[in-house]
Chains A and B, each alone.
Chain A
Amino acid sequence: MATGIKDKVAILSMGCSRFGERWDVGQEELMVEAYVEALSRAGIEPAAIGAAWYSSHYDDIGAGKAGTPMAQALRLPNIGVTRVENFCAGGTEAFRGAVYAVASGAVDIALAVGVEKLKDTGFAGLPLASRGTFGPMYLPTHSNPGNFAQLAAAYQARHNVGRADLKRAMAHTSVKSHANAVKNPNAHLRKAITIEQALNAPLVAEPIGLFDCCPVSDGAACAIVTTPEIARSLGRAPAVTVKAIQIVTSNGWEVQQAEWDGAHVHTARIVARAAYAEAGITDPARQISLTEVHDCFSITELVTLEDLGLTEPGTAWREMLDGRFDADGAMPCQIDGGLKCFGHPVGASGLRMLYEAWLQLTGAAGGRQLANPSLALTHNLGGAPSQNVCSVTILGAN
């Protein structure tokens, strides 16, 4: 009988590069930035690391395939480096690999690194990801804003919300994240914006405007994990342990059967239930102190808050307008600026969210530190609402 991952693995240390349009560096330097920070905070030598997981989404830009780009960039001591790719959940996937390796007893200390060097494409927005040979023969020529914009159209229809009301709630979502990122020195976008700026921004994909989109950023983040016992033996209290990691993948039902309403994310509801069960959480809206959700677009954040059970379906837009998810609200969301402003280097984002959760839970978040957080939730949504990889990780302070 599986007992789950709860409290079997502790975070020894984390690191995160500055995110942004890093014209000055490539993926190697980004990884080094995050790794050196984590290594120095952990107080261990590289030789102590038993195995590593490496997340990178695009291999045609950035570093290429396999584990060798990371092993070489970080000069790892000839250990196994496993490259994982699972859309925007790749960083969490790498973290899961490292956590499971430690929990299994196969290694004492494991490393997870996520990186993406996106600003070598020559244009704004994400490039088209490979969909094999058959997919492009029938699937629409799409963009990520277009994929997620469909959530908005369906949400309006499902919950009878007018376009103007939804646009205002989406604008508030982005204004809140911009305000939060001002206090985050590693964030890509550190400038406050107004509701009017967000509302008046050019349309990208109806009804998503420019300020409803997260930026395309370069960045890297990493985690070093071990058992609570080894953390203690290294002279470090196991301050933060893993309470749950769940990943759920669409099997084609949403996109092939006319049963899903298109106004929520099917996998998100499943993954949230599984994660809460693993972590022993019964009332997420009350028990969870902070959330870092996958706000690739403002509408995604709104729908996700409902899917995670943090607010009732059809109410997130109103709760957002009421300020519940602001930094001083009852449930701060995206306190580091989120994907919207910290930035979104695809393969690194899951680990970036965990980095913020870890900082907050250890009281190390500086000017944006929340008061006494105990449980932090991170969420990734990779792909499109109709076909995706969705993850939820829960960390807890001990």
Chain B
Amino acid sequence: MTSILALGVHLPRLRLQRAAMSSALGWLTSGAGAGKGQRTLAFWDEDSITMAVAAARAALRGQDAAAIHSLSFASTTAPFVEPQGAAFVHAALRLPETCLAQDVQGSPRATLIALHSALESGQTALIAAGDLPPGTPGSLAEARAGDGGAAALVGSGPGLLDYRGGISLSAPFTDRYRANGHDHPQEWEERWVREAGYLDLVPKAVAGALAKAGLSAADIDHFVLPCPIPGVAAAVAARAGLANARLAASLAETCGDTGTAHPLLMLAHALETAVPGQKLLVAQFGQGATALVFEAGSVTMIPLVSPQLAQGIDEANYMKLLAFRGKIAWDRGLRGRFIVNEALSTAWRYSAALMGFVGGRCRETGRVQFPPTRLTVGDGLHLDTQEPWPLADVGGQVATFTADLLAFSPHPPNCYGLVDLNGGGRLLMEFTDPGAAAITPGTPVEFVFRIKDIDPQTGYRRYFWKAIATPVAS
């Protein structure tokens, strides 16, 4: 039996109020801030890679990462055309070198395509999705989108969701496109997308998946279909005959459509109310359609999505979206004009430390340090005595702190200080996420993989680990 063994999700803390979007550009366009509620907004140092990593770390908690055979990074907003984002996700998660890593892209359906493929392969696979669906300022797409990450670990044996069967249909149905070198999508008429697209292709896929699973439409208890267009999921459910299925919440008013992350995000949310034995059908549309049938397994999980939905921070300034995404040429000042030297050979040499946050622990003195070096910190001469010491999950406490208004930051003040690592060692780190300025010495922190710097001239970005205050609940 192949199953989804674990799920993980990540929602950025900021919740951009649609009323604020409307207030900013509603005088100009009808789409600005359309809809109610709020949408998630990735912080300046979050992108599809970091959100996929955050979600995958949550999914892998307590799981055997060393057994993973393949990794798929799913996104329509990978930061690089080259290299592949999966290589960064792979490194941040410290997956085995033998793990195949690939990018899947081109459609929000990329996640389910990769998931379908993994489920059929029977091998242990990780699908990590992260997306910041782009929209032209003031557009409906911008208002409806949200930013987020989600991940699924697939493998044999009983799990959260036991796979019963699925199908993927392919069709050259282009509802929207974004040509290479263009920042924003062009969308065709919504009514056509709904009638000729969703309502035709998704019911076909649903029927195909049910046939593979040996189930009828009436057997389905939960139907998960992400679609930014309101009302479409319900219409598809009716057309497909899913009469007994509970329609999974779109999270439109609390989160927005998170692109490749959304099917897994909605699935994780639906699972919060599912009981063992119930049948769930997950589908997504995009140049065809994929439909996958699962049975809720005996393994239960703590709610993943609701707590994160509840931890949002209201953001009433629409300009932050434009500034974070580089859509306005804001005044960085001369101090912000420093060179981000990519030094690719240096980055590769220290990739375990930089991407995987692996320090060293001296076998002779027991001292932990970052970065690892040939000679151990402290008294005495201890040469080549360090063993790799992963730090990403150890957490720590703040020793010194400042909120710096002079140092360059895309979201001043830039907050940083010394962090004492649990289990030994200390490191000067940046603190991130809104509210970092409230950190004080003694604050417990945990570590997140984030963008370190972006070079506005070349577009190059590099990643490292930062500290955030440990959420009180955890």
Which positions in A face B, CB cutoff 8 Å?
121-123, 125, 127-128, 133-134, 136-143, 145-147, 149-151, 153-154, 157, 203-206, 208, 251-253, 255-258, 262, 386
**B341 sits at the interface (CB 8 A):** yes
How far apart are the CA atoms of A28 and B354 in the complex, in Å? 42
Binds A, one of B137-145, B231-239, B300-308, B396-404: B396-404
- Give the shortest distance, in Å, between B405 (CB) and chain A (any CB): 6
Q: Which one of B406, B427, B441 contacts A256 once the chains associate, using CB atoms below 8 Å?
A: B427
How far apart are the CA atoms of A141 and B416 in the complex, in Å? 8
Q: Is the CB–CB distance between B426 and A138 below 8 Å?
A: no
How far apart are the CA atoms of A146 and B377 in the complex, in Å? 25
How far apart are the CA atoms of A146 and B429 in the complex, in Å? 12
How far apart are the CA atoms of A138 and B452 in the complex, in Å? 8
By a CB distance below 8 angstroms, the chain A residues around B353 are 138
Q: For residue B350, which residue of chain A has the nearest CB?
A: A134
Q: Is the CB–CB distance between B426 and A137 below 8 Å?
A: no
Q: For residue B340, which residue of chain A has the nearest CB?
A: A136
How far apart are the CA atoms of A204 and B407 in the complex, in Å? 9
By a CB distance below 8 angstroms, the chain A residues around B172 are none
By a CB distance below 8 angstroms, the chain A residues around B99 are none
What does the 1/0 interface line of B443-462 toward A look like (CB < 8 Å)?
00000000011000000001
Q: For residue B399, which residue of chain A has the nearest CB?
A: A262
Q: Is the CB–CB distance between A133 and B417 below 8 Å?
A: no
How far apart are the CA atoms of A37 and B378 in the complex, in Å? 46
**B180 sits at the interface (CB 8 A):** no
Q: Is the CB–CB distance between B418 and A149 below 8 Å?
A: no
Q: Is the CB–CB distance between B420 and A258 below 8 Å?
A: yes
Q: Is the CB–CB distance between B402 and A149 below 8 Å?
A: yes
By a CB distance below 8 angstroms, the chain B residues around A147 are 402
Known: A123-B333, A137-B452, A154-B400. Is A257-B426 also a contact (CB below 8 A)? yes
Q: For residue B335, which residue of chain A has the nearest CB?
A: A123
- Give the shortest distance, in Å, between A249 (CB) and chain B (any CB): 14
By a CB distance below 8 angstroms, the chain A residues around B427 are 255-256
Known: A134-B350, A138-B354, A204-B405. Is A150-B335 also a contact (CB below 8 A)? no
A127, A147, A150, A251: residue with the most chain B Cβ atoms closer than 10 Å: A150
- CB-CB contacts below 8 Å: B307-355 with A: 333-335, 338, 340-341, 343, 346-347, 350, 353-354
Q: Which one of A146, A153, A252 contacts B406 once the chains associate, using CB atoms below 8 Å?
A: A146
7 closest A-B pairs by beta carbon, nearest first, are: A146-B404, A258-B420, A150-B400, A133-B343, A140-B416, A149-B402, A143-B407
Q: Is the CB–CB distance between B440 and A153 below 8 Å?
A: yes
Known: A141-B414, A153-B441, A252-B377. Is A258-B424 also a contact (CB below 8 A)? yes
Q: Which one of B400, B406, B429 contacts A145 once the chains associate, using CB atoms below 8 Å?
A: B406
Q: Is the CB–CB distance between A256 and B369 below 8 Å?
A: yes
Q: Is the CB–CB distance between B341 and A136 below 8 Å?
A: yes
Q: Which one of A137, A146, A153, A204 contacts B347 once the chains associate, using CB atoms below 8 Å?
A: A137
Q: Is the CB–CB distance between B406 and A253 below 8 Å?
A: no
Q: Which one of A141, A203, A206, A256 contacts B425 once the chains associate, using CB atoms below 8 Å?
A: A256
Q: Is the CB–CB distance between B341 and A133 below 8 Å?
A: yes
Q: For residue A203, which residue of chain B has the nearest CB?
A: B405
By a CB distance below 8 angstroms, the chain B residues around A153 are 400-402, 417, 440-441
Q: Is the CB–CB distance between B346 and A134 below 8 Å?
A: yes
How far apart are the CA atoms of A140 and B338 in the complex, in Å? 14
Can you offer 11 A-B residue contacts whose CB atoms are under 8 A? A122-B334, A123-B333, A128-B335, A136-B341, A142-B404, A154-B441, A205-B413, A256-B369, A256-B425, A257-B369, A262-B400
Task: Please give 18 more A-B residue pairs, beta carbons under 8 A apart, in addition to A206-B402, A256-B377, A257-B369.
Answer: A125-B406, A128-B335, A133-B341, A133-B346, A134-B350, A140-B416, A141-B408, A141-B409, A145-B402, A146-B402, A146-B407, A146-B416, A150-B418, A153-B400, A153-B417, A256-B369, A262-B399, A386-B400
By a CB distance below 8 angstroms, the chain A residues around B354 are 137-138
How far apart are the CA atoms of A95 and B467 in the complex, in Å? 42
How far apart are the CA atoms of A157 and B353 in the complex, in Å? 31
How far apart are the CA atoms of A141 and B417 in the complex, in Å? 11
By a CB distance below 8 angstroms, the chain B residues around A133 are 341, 343, 346
Q: Is the CB–CB distance between B413 and A137 below 8 Å?
A: no
**B442 sits at the interface (CB 8 A):** yes
Q: Is the CB–CB distance between B430 and A253 below 8 Å?
A: no
Known: A123-B333, A257-B378. Is A128-B338 also a contact (CB below 8 A)? yes
**B86 sits at the interface (CB 8 A):** no
How far apart are the CA atoms of A153 and B340 in the complex, in Å? 30
Q: Which one of B334, B402, B418, B441 contacts A255 once the chains associate, using CB atoms below 8 Å?
A: B418
Q: For residue B437, which residue of chain A has the nearest CB?
A: A206
A123, A157, A258: residue with the most chain B Cβ atoms closer than 10 Å: A258
Q: Is the CB–CB distance between A137 and B333 below 8 Å?
A: no
**B464 sits at the interface (CB 8 A):** yes
**B367 sits at the interface (CB 8 A):** yes
**B370 sits at the interface (CB 8 A):** yes
- Give the shortest distance, in Å, between A285 (CB) and chain B (any CB): 28
**B276 sits at the interface (CB 8 A):** no
Q: Which one of B408, B424, B462 contacts A137 once the chains associate, using CB atoms below 8 Å?
A: B462
**B371 sits at the interface (CB 8 A):** yes
- Give the shortest distance, in Å, between A268 (CB) and chain B (any CB): 16
How far apart are the CA atoms of A319 and B350 in the complex, in Å? 47
- CB-CB contacts below 8 Å: B419-433 with A: 420-421, 424-430
How far apart are the CA atoms of A253 and B424 in the complex, in Å? 12
- Give the shortest distance, in Å, between A203 (CB) and chain B (any CB): 6
How far apart are the CA atoms of A252 and B373 in the complex, in Å? 11
